[in-house]
Amino acid sequence: MRTPLIEFRQVSKRFGHNVVLDSVDLAVYPGEVTTLIGRSGEGKSVTLKLIIGLLWPDSGEILYRGKSVSRMKRAELKHIRREVSFMFQGNALFDSLTVQENIALPLREGFHANEATIRERVEQKMQVMDLEGTEEQYPSQLSGGMQKRVALARAMVTDPETVLFDEPTTGLDPVRKNSVLSMILSNQRDYGFTALLVSHDVPDVFYISNRIAVLEEGRTIYQGPPQDLEQKEHPVLQEYVNSQEILRNEIYGLQSSRFLERAFAGMREDPERREGALLVISLPQYQEIKEKVGQLMVEMLLGAISRAFYKVSQCGDQCKVARYGEDRVVCLCEPGSYDRDPDKVLQGVASELGSMDFCSSGVRQGKASFSVNGGWDRIGSHKSLFQLVQGIEQQKRILGSISCKGPD
C-alpha cells in the first residue's frame, strides 16, 4: 500500500462560528497531480495554507512523509518549507521587483544561494517558461498570462519536491488558461514534483490530474481518479462531471441521459405506460459537421432539434427531451400525451429545421450536405433504451438535409 506524501486525518478548522473544514481526510501521493475542487468558501485555499503552516488546524492531524507536522521540531518544519513551494492565487508578485528579481527571491531569502547559482537557476527557469527578454521588466508591464509564467517560474526555481497551486488560472482567458494548465503538467512530468492544485476549472483539470478530491460542506465527499467520478451517483459529483453538459442542457431545455434512463425504466415497468413512444432524431455526419462547419454550429443544431420537438409535439412536461450520445436527441413521450402521430411529429421537426439558417457563414471550403435521420417506436417491455434507440437508427430513415457551401 502506497504511503501518502501529505495526509490529513480528521482535520477541522473554524474561524469564529464558521466551520470551514469538518473532520477532513485527504491523501496526496508523491509524484502525482492531485486537484482539490469545491464551491467557493469550502476551504480549499485554507487546506493549502494548513499544509505549509500559514494556519494550524483546530483538531486532527496533518502528516508529511508519514510524520505529524504538529510534533515536528523547528528544524524539521524549516526543511519541509524548503521542499514545498507555493504559487499564490493572484500571483503575489512584487511590483517593485523586476521579473528576474521576483523569480530569484526564494533563492535569496530561503536558501541564501550565491549569486552564480541564483543567476544560473533563474536563467534556466526563464528559458523553460519562455520568459527570455523580460528580465528587467516589472509585473505591471506584463500580460496576465506572462505574470502567471513568472509566478510559476518563481515557485519552481528552488526545484521543490512539492508545489501547491492556489487557483493558478484565475482571471485568464480560455487560451491562456489552457496554456498554464499544460505548462504545469509538462513541468511536473519533466521534474517529477508532487503537485496539489486548487481549481475551479472543471472539467479541464480532470485531464491533467491523477487524483481528484472534492470538498463539500467542509467534508471530503470523494477522493480518487477523475475517471471514477462518472460512476458515482452523488448529485454534487455528477454536477462537477457533467458541468459543461448541464449548462448546455439547461440552455437548450434538454434532460440528461441519466434522467432519461430512469424515466424510461419507470415507463417500461408500468403496463399502462408501455404504449408511450420514443422518438429519435440523429445526425449521422456529426463529426463531419463539426470538422467542416464547427463545434458551435453542431451544438446549435442539436439545440434546435430539442426546441422543435417541444414546439411540434405540444406535449409539455409529458415529453422528456434529452441528449442521448453526442449525435442524437431523443424524445420520450407518455401515452396519450401528444395529439399527433409520431411520424407527423418527426416530419414537423424536420420542417422546422429546414426553415432555419445554420450555415450563414458557410463551410471552410467546397460544399457540404448533411442528412437528418429520424424514427420512432413503442416502448414495450422487453428492450432496453439503448436497444430501442439502436433499432430505430438501423431504419436509417432520412427526414431531410441541411446544405452549406463555402466561399466562392
Q: What are phi and psi of 342, to 5 degrees?
A: -55, -35
Residue that has been written with the C-alpha cell 448546455 in this structure:
248
With beta carbons less than 8 A apart as the criterion, state whether 68 and 245 touch.
no
Per-residue pLDDT at 80:
83
Q: What is the pLDDT of residue 39?
A: 84
Please check whether residue 134 is in contact with residue 185, taking contact to mean a CB–CB distance below 8 angstroms: no
pLDDT of residue 24: 95
The pLDDT value recorded for residue 137 is 93
Same fold, 6-241 and 245-405: no
Q: What is the pLDDT of residue 357?
A: 61
Q: How do the pLDDT tens digits run along the chain, 408 residues long? A: 788 999 999 999 999 999 999 999 999 999 999 999 888 888 999 999 999 888 999 999 999 999 998 888 888 888 888 889 888 877 889 999 999 999 999 888 877 778 898 999 899 888 888 888 899 999 999 888 888 889 888 988 888 899 999 888 877 777 777 878 888 888 888 888 999 999 887 778 888 899 999 998 899 989 998 878 767 767 677 666 666 566 666 666 677 777 888 888 888 888 888 888 898 988 888 887 777 777 667 777 777 777 777 777 666 667 788 888 878 888 888 886 555 678 888 888 877 777 666 555 444 555 667 788 889 998 887 888 999 999 998 888 888 777 665 555
- Per-residue pLDDT at 362: 47
* pLDDT of the residue at 405: 56
> Between the CA of residue 15 and those of 46, 56, 166, 216, 359, what are the distances in Å?
11, 11, 20, 17, 56
238-285 pLDDT tens trace = 666 666 566 666 666 677 777 888 888 888 888 888 888 898 988 888
Q: What is the dihedral of CA 184, 189, 193, 198, to 10 degrees?
A: 30
Question: What is the C-alpha separation between 350 and 312, in angstroms, rounded?
Answer: 10
Q: What pLDDT is recorded for position 36?
A: 94
65, 278, 316, 321 from 304: Cα distances, Å: 55, 18, 16, 12
pLDDT tens, residue by residue, 164-220: 998 888 777 777 778 788 888 888 888 889 999 998 877 788 888 999 999 988 999
If one counts every other C-beta atom within 10 angstroms of the C-beta of residue 127, the result is: 11
Measure Cα distances from 195 to 35, 181, 204 in Å. 8, 12, 16
Q: Domain map of the chain by residue range? A: 6-241, 245-405
User: What is the rounded CA–CA span in Å between residue 165 and residue 102?
Assistant: 17
Cβ contacts of 190 within 8 Å, gap of 6 or more: none
6-241 adopts what CATH topology?
Answer: Rossmann fold (3.40.50)
**Would you say domain 245-405 falls under CATH 3.30.70.270?**
yes
Residue 333: phi and psi, rounded to 5, are: -115, 135
Q: pTM of the predicted model, to two decimals?
A: 0.65
